[in-house]
Amino acid sequence: MKSFCIKTNHSPIIDYLLKSLDTIPDIVFVKRKFKIYDNIIIHYMGKDMPSFVTALSQILTDSVILFYEPRLLHHLLYFNYFYFDACEKDSIEEFCFDLEDGLIESENPEVPLFYDREKQVLPSFIEYIQEHKSMILDGFVYFRLADYMTTLEKMVEYAVNQYVVEKEYTEFIDLLKIYIESNTCKQDLVHLIYTNGESILLDKHKSIISITEHTVEAKYLSDISFSSNDYTLNTLLTLLPKKIEVHVIGETDDFIHTLELIFGSRISLCKDCHICRTYRILNNVSHK
């Protein structure tokens, strides 16, 4: 027989553990108050000790992620990033919750690590339960899950960085919108042919507008980079056309979305006019 005692004073966690323990076969358990802790005392009377240890460890792991993790993230954010105001912290915290739930897609190699937090916690519980007869749950979480804590710190750091980038992006868009509204249009119409992340600009007579000739005046570019499309954006901001027809040969992306945010009603998207068809043939792209 294997006996194990879990000590904690958090009522929601106690209720969760008592309910979850009912799913483990061949055990009896009871809750008793001794001194400062409520104690959940578990007796396993079966013969498959590894399965029991794994099942109990899984329940404890789930309780950490469900109950402790939000408080840990909140503490890390408010302690390490105190200089953000309350609204900013709420936004960053919400981003952390999206990371927890696996709702964020990114090419950053650290992001998948955030989705595997369970794999960092479960082995620690298994090892501890195999070697001990009791645990103070708070102490275990705060002092025996170093790798997990490091992952949470990285999660908060990543969320903060993403928030700062998005904030700068929004401020950049707002600044350019103000610039557009406060200056006189210099062209009636510009066609933008967009394919494979590259842009070609045509004037209203369908003549090519040289993007490079405007790079000397590239004063509207920011730290937010679209690579070669930085100069396309700068040219459009120099010409300030009344209307921009974007001919999308293929798929839209972040750059096109940014142009829509900046130029608003001046932008119109087209996927099937004679210009679209011509450039689709030239680039061997089928129409969807």
Residues 138 and 21 in one domain: yes
- Beta bridge mates, 81: none
| Encoded tokens for 129 | 């339960």
Domain boundary among 155, 176, 197: 176
Residues 188 and 271 in one domain: yes
Domain that holds residue 159: 2-176
Per-residue pLDDT of the chain (288 residues; tens, 9 = 90+): 899 999 999 999 999 999 999 999 999 999 999 889 999 999 999 999 999 999 999 999 999 999 999 999 999 999 999 999 999 999 999 999 888 776 666 666 667 667 788 999 999 999 999 999 999 999 999 999 999 999 999 999 999 999 999 999 999 999 999 999 999 988 999 999 998 888 999 999 999 998 765 544 545 555 555 567 888 898 899 899 999 999 998 888 889 999 999 999 999 999 889 998 888 888 877 665
Residues 170 and 213 in one domain: no
Residues 167 and 271 in one domain: no
Residue 216: predicted pLDDT? 46
Per the structure, the count of domains in the chain is 2
Q: Which of 222, 219, 254, 252 is nearest to 237 (CA)?
A: 219
287 in any annotated domain:
no
266 in any annotated domain:
yes
Residues 35 and 168 in one domain: yes
Residues 82 and 167 in one domain: yes
Helices marked H in 64-109 — which ranges?
69-80, 86-100
224 in any annotated domain:
yes
Helices marked H in 217-273 — which ranges?
229-239, 254-263
Q: CA 16 to CA 37: how far, in whole Å? A: 16
288 in any annotated domain:
no
Domain boundary among 157, 176, 195: 176
The domain that contains 217 carries what CATH number? 3.30.420
Residue 55: predicted pLDDT? 97
Residues 82 and 193 in one domain: no
Count of residues for the chain?
Answer: 288
Domain boundary among 153, 176, 199: 176
SS3 219: coil
Residue 115: predicted pLDDT? 77
